[in-house]
Structure 1
């Protein structure tokens, strides 16, 4: 099963995991961890850190290790699908314990932890790739790491460390996130306050039920599937949740290299949501962006940047769980998308543009279907763009007349006919520039 060479994201997870059992404490971190491990081949996982949780007096690294034991039992089969899946022993070595307490008073001299020192060491590695900190709980250990880095280094050295970090935090749990952003206005920091609830609210909710899980994840998919806890509880909206909650999952869905998003551009949007900077705020700090898929609840427009992709990411999860028990010949794998020309290009008003995906392939030899659409929210052009299709594999359009440069995001979805179908993407960002006498393509 051939895989395309990809530049993997470096990842450290901070989780306030408090349960791996449905109906006990808060098991949604356990849900997210199981799904995260199904994409472990896509990342360089440099830390799995248990942080303070309100559900226990301290933190629970043993829950991380318990799920890793289940992962270890299916690793042999996963590695047949992609040898890049890390061994259980490699992941156990990066399980660390954070501060058992939480709060601003636990940041400063005398509050270094195994976790905070691990974060500093990772940030100072001789590696040009950014280091992503995925926050599923509190940020006390991250705050301590930044404080200690500032204490040990001069301002220029600290700035270099901060420039390597990328934070994606689910809410400002336990209250220190806002303080970190105040202290470090240049720190790349995504905060999801509402859109993460699109994992289980809005859209096609038949894909998040206990029945869907039992049919596709928790039964007949090996020990790791059995370890997935079915959520039984509620949420801040007073809703009953029975099945998937996974409030932390968007942090790594955002980084999956499926061709849809761009991790350095939160405003583009993708499986992990779409974000924008606040008016008069730091250009490095991003918060929930509104989508146009408004439903019955006022927050639906915030959930939508996650739930709009739910059919595709649920089929992906379902297919990858098959990898735990099926051979590469029996299971389905993602198609590989190839788009003609640069993915970012500048054209003149009135110019005819043709984009082809004829070079796309499916590694299993399955048939492919192609869907082209304008993703309007991340672009600046608000008019109607007519996409013409001479054949399914290509699209043509006439660049609109504009008075100022405008951007248009065209998303190509390529789906195979395997069971379940899997989708990969191509995104072409077109700038229509009325001041350009001829098209200028940007790599």
Structure 2
């Protein structure tokens, strides 16, 4: 019966698409992005947002480059392109925000990863989140997170009362890998937060294995974008114009009927409740007999020399060798000779790690472990226990897009999404 329901959902979804309804009231949104960081797909998603910005009441654009060198200036550069294209957009639709109004709500968030405790000092971005969340409004503030949760974690730490006033749609997956400390703080201290954790569903937007030729990622630019305004000219600078836009599903979700219901089929994915977020705590070097769940938080704790450093100081490095190569993470001194580092794997594979430090008496640590698919999986004693309002990718095998859980809840709409966007690109010619 379960398989029958899944198959029916996939068959009916394209039919439902023809009956999609706009969100009846412009949703209040704030975007936190690592634009300008290591992945230029945020620039593509920002172009998409600007072209559809008449559909939202936008209250904030925050540069939150937890990893990489992004700054608020990258947001301002995109707004300058939008300003040049705005006269053509306004001929086709009403309600576009002025460029100056958008510039006024651009804020600088945190540079660099949060420490192990999951919060640090307030930023212009985290303060702006608090200010927007506290505005009197019958609507919640929707925070769309395209990078790490660092500024959201800081805002919640500084103003716990905003938990009741915000709803978060987070593109997790690789962003969770880079921002495990902020996530751990939120999951551990704010289990009643309303949050969509999209770890794999987003992938459905840039998979094109069954796409018609003109909608393939490497063909879409030439067919629909080339020659379409200043935003179109700029689009070629990211992945040579090949469409990725891994963060755009958060916007698509806000364009579709009832964002308060994440269980429904929607352009931005369909999700399910989950009540525990997997966490694995190791106090020894791991081996191939140790298995963790994809997207989980793996926490490595060990003893070492007592040193004269403040607690939560970054002082060692964990180098992880994966299929894509080797990447490094900072580890932290917790005091009294205790050390710790967190890692969140983004796909099923076998990983090898080495932990080193330039500290006298610090022994090199090495280990391996296995990552399995199937999020969130069975409960374990160390899991983060969540409330009723956490949602994540559907686990049904038929809804995987390759190895990405829930991907088909977005890919089923991909043709309609890109054709709708093509109409707006035509406005710019």
By relative contact order (CA 8 Å, sep 6+), the higher-ranking structure is 2
In the alignment, does 2:179 pair up with 1:174? yes
The equivalent of 1:199 in structure 2 is: 205
Offset of residue 292 of structure 1: 6.8
Using structure 2 for the length normalisation, give the TM-score: 0.64
* Structure 1 position 307, deviation (Å): 0.5
Give the match for residue 135 of structure 1.
145
Correspondence list, 1:22-421, <5 A: 25-56=38-69, 59-105=70-116, 108=119, 111-150=121-160, 158=161, 161-171=162-172, 172=176, 173-175=178-180, 176-201=182-207, 204-205=210-211, 206=213, 207-217=215-225, 219-229=226-236, 231-232=238-239, 243-257=242-256, 259=257, 262-278=258-274, 281-290=386-395, 293=398, 297-299=402-404, 302-325=406-429
**Post-superposition shift, 1:99?**
1.3
- The alpha-carbon distance between structure 1 residues 146 and 298, as it changes in their structure 2 partners (threshold 3 A), is closer
1:296–1:114 CA distance, 2 compared to 1 (3 A): closer
Work out whether residues 136 and 248 of structure 1, in 8 Å CA contact, stay in contact via their aligned partners in 2: yes
Deviates more, 1:69-78 or 1:277-286: 277-286
Closer, same or farther: CA 264–324 of 1 in aligned 2, 3 Å? same
SS of equivalent residue, structure 1 residue 48? strand
CA contact (8 A) 1:18 1:55 kept: yes
Q: Which whole-Å deviations, capped at 9, do the CAs of 1:6-44 have from their partners, x for residues lacking one?
A: 41111111111126xxxxx42100010001111100001
Q: In 1, distance between residues paired with 2:401 and 2:194? A: 33
Any idea what SS the aligned residue of 1:7 has?
A: coil
Q: CA deviation at 1:54?
A: 2.2
Q: Is the 8 A contact 1:102 1:140 kept in 2?
A: yes
The 1:295–1:7 alpha-carbon spacing in structure 2 relative to 1, beyond 3 Å, is closer
1:202 positional shift: 5.2
| Post-superposition CA distance 1:200-222 (Å, at most 9, x none) | 125534424222112201x1211
Q: How many Å separate the matches in 1 of 2:149 and 2:23?
A: 33
Q: Any idea what SS the aligned residue of 2:407 has?
A: helix
Output the CA distance in 2 between the equivalents of 1:134 and 1:39. 15
SS in 1 for 2:265: coil
Return the offset for 1:293: 4.9
> 2:193–2:387: 8 Å Cα contact kept in structure 1?
no
TM-score normalised by structure 1 residue count: 0.62
Q: Distance in 2 between matches of 1:185 and 1:128?
A: 23
Unaligned runs of 5+ in 1: 20-24, 151-157, 234-241, 326-443
Give yes or no for contact 2:218–2:243 (8 Å, CA) kept in 1: yes
Structure 2 unpaired stretches of 5+: 1-20, 277-385
Distance 1:119 1:88 in 2: 20
* Cα distance in 2 for residues equivalent to 1:195 and 1:272: 8
CA-based RMSD of the aligned residues comes to: 2.4
Deviation at 1:107, TM superposition (A): 5.4
CA contact (8 A) 1:202 1:295 kept: no
Change (3 A) 1:212 1:197: same
Q: Is the 8 A contact 2:119 2:150 kept in 1?
A: no
